[in-house]
Structure 1
Amino acid sequence: MRFKGRTALVSGGAGAIGRAIALRFADEGANVAILDINADAVGKLVDEIRSRGVLAHGSVVDVRDYAAVKACVDAAAEALGGIDIVVNAAGGSARKRMDLFERIDISVVDDVVDINLRGTLYVIHAALPHLIRKNYGKIINISSIIAIGGKAKCVDYAAAKGGIIAATRSLAIELGRHNINVNALSPGQVQRPDEMPADPVAFAHRHSLMNRICTQEDVAHAVMFLASSDADYMTGQNYVIDGGRSLGLRGDS
């Protein structure tokens, strides 16, 4: 129960990765605040977190709306006695609207940059007064290996996730004096229950040296480490969780 007495706020908390992170925090004794746009999923997750014997607070919010984000973060802090840990898991690519940059509709670019980069900055800005007041905090921002290596039809997503890494470094420089650690995590291809490949074995072989696809739990494990006292001297870093994918081509392929 290494997070007993702490409160973790997770944006995108009802999504696949965010949910895994939120439940791990609850299992480790933390009270959990959820920010997500999906009202039904937020309600169900709050009930599930409470069933684990900790406090939970859920807010339905679009992270692109700063005034709403600020109100929800303040409400969560009031309900749960403050905020100690912030995890930014809200985000996503354009998926079915993805295209080469020369052809993509600029509204798609706006959507992707807003939800990933602007949303992350909004949540951090809203939460900072609560962390600074305690002279303690852990901020973990979910980026992507696409921000490092790039990918066709993902210019908007790569730019937004790259911006998260850059912001992480600058925030670490600013916030060290407040005893606040700021780090980023860049997962590779993460398995989604609604998007299983036709041939999972072949897919895993192409996307990882570990012969499996990254899971939400893999990301949650790394978040728990960075949020814990074991990572007290680590800040301003981007940690890659991709099973070796970013190392390049396999020697046996």
Structure 2
Amino acid sequence: MKLANQVAIVTGGGGAIGRAIGRQLAEEGATVVLFDLFKDGAEQAAAEINALGKGRAVPCVANVSVYADTCAAVDKVVQDFGRIDILVNCAGGSARDKMRVYHEQTMEVVNWMLGANLFGPLHCIHAVSKHMVKAKSGRIINITSIVALNGKPACTEYAAAKGAIIAASKCLAMELGPHNITVNCVAPGLVERRELTPQLEANLAYRHSCVNRACRQDDIANMVRFLALPESDYITGQNIAVDGGRSLGLKGDDVRKIPDL
């Protein structure tokens, strides 16, 4: 197990992608602290990971969009475990039920989206990176989106936040590289959260990828896992799309209207 004795923070650890990332890091032997706004989700995810008998998962209720809350949670991790080796900023999301074209969007939603998807990661990086600099080692991995690369209607504030994180990650890679800290981004395509029936998967694969299946949570977690391992220590400042080729043309966002089944 290549991450034995290492400590990882995964924000949004109670969500579908966050818990897949936490599980894969734990499978490599890491102690994974799952930050989440919701206690039940964090505890459930930690229990599922611990039941596998590899690594260790610990739930932690934290609102990363509030800097003081973030600092308190990070300080608790250092107090309990003495180190932070990996930070995965996964909290946030596009809030699909709140998506609107920008001129019809409310500023409450805009501010919420920026808080979760931009300020949340920046808060965590600011709180964690000083510990990594002191240790002269670390991995920071930010979950972004292909929407930040190619755009999409009704996603202006989301794209703005994710695009800003990509830009910030390039600057941070330059600043933190001399301290043996890498900073990278993983940009998912559409990750389906429903049960994938054969008919639904065929529909999603046709609309949203260039390969014959839909994107799964583990597809994203696989890349995060790689970026946390020693084999990736010469990769930094990159935004890696994991989308089945969707960003080659944002397949599915064209004039064809195929209803979800």
**Further displaced range: 86-95 or 187-196:** 187-196
**Letter matched to residue 13 of structure 2:** G
**Which amino acid in the other structure matches residue 136 of structure 2?**
N
CA distance in 2, matches of 1:72, 1:109: 25
Shift of 1:200: 2.9
- Offset of 1:122 from its aligned partner? 0.5
Q: Which residue of 2 aligns with 1:141?
A: 142
Deviation at 1:49, TM superposition (A): 3.1
- 2:113, 2:158 within 8 Å by CA — same for their partners in 1? yes
Structure 2 counterpart of 1:156, one-letter code: E
Alpha-carbon distance, 1:113 to partner: 1.0
In structure 2, how many angstroms separate the alpha carbons of the residues matched to 1:128 and 1:196?
Answer: 42
Shift of residue 92 of structure 1?
A: 1.0
Unmatched segments (≥5 aa) in structure 2: 257-261
Deviation at 1:198, TM superposition (A): 7.4
| Equivalent residues in 2 for 1:170-189, closer than 5 Å | 170-189=171-190
Structure 1 counterpart of 2:150, one-letter code: G
Which residue does 2:247 correspond to in 1?
Answer: 246
Report % sequence identity.
46
TM-score using structure 1 length: 0.94
Q: How many residues align?
A: 251
Query: For each residue in 1:42-69, what CA deviation from the matched residue of structure 2 results, as whole angstroms up to 9, or x when unmatched?
Result: 1222233333243433211111111011
* One-letter identity of the residue aligned with 1:22: G
Distance 2:100 2:197 in 1: 22
Partner of 2:215: 214
Pair 1:176–1:63, CA change in 2 (3 A): same
Q: Is the 8 A contact 1:57 1:79 kept in 2?
A: no
**C-alpha contact (below 8 Å) 1:143/1:184 kept by paired residues:** yes
Change (3 A) 1:175 1:65: same
Q: Is the 8 A contact 2:173 2:183 kept in 1?
A: yes
In the alignment, residue 4 of structure 1 is paired with which amino acid?
Answer: A
Once residues 149 and 249 of structure 1 are traced to their aligned partners in structure 2, the CA distance between those partners, rounded to angstroms, is: 7
Unpaired segments ≥5 residues, structure 1: none
Matched to 2:121, the amino acid is T
1:90-120 Cα deviation digits (max 9, x unpaired): 0111322211111111111111111000001
Give 1:129's aligned residue: 130
1:85-104 aligned at under 5 Å gives the runs 85-104=86-105
Residues 134-164 of structure 1: CA distance to partner in whole angstroms, max 9, x if unpaired? Answer: 1000000000000000000000000000011
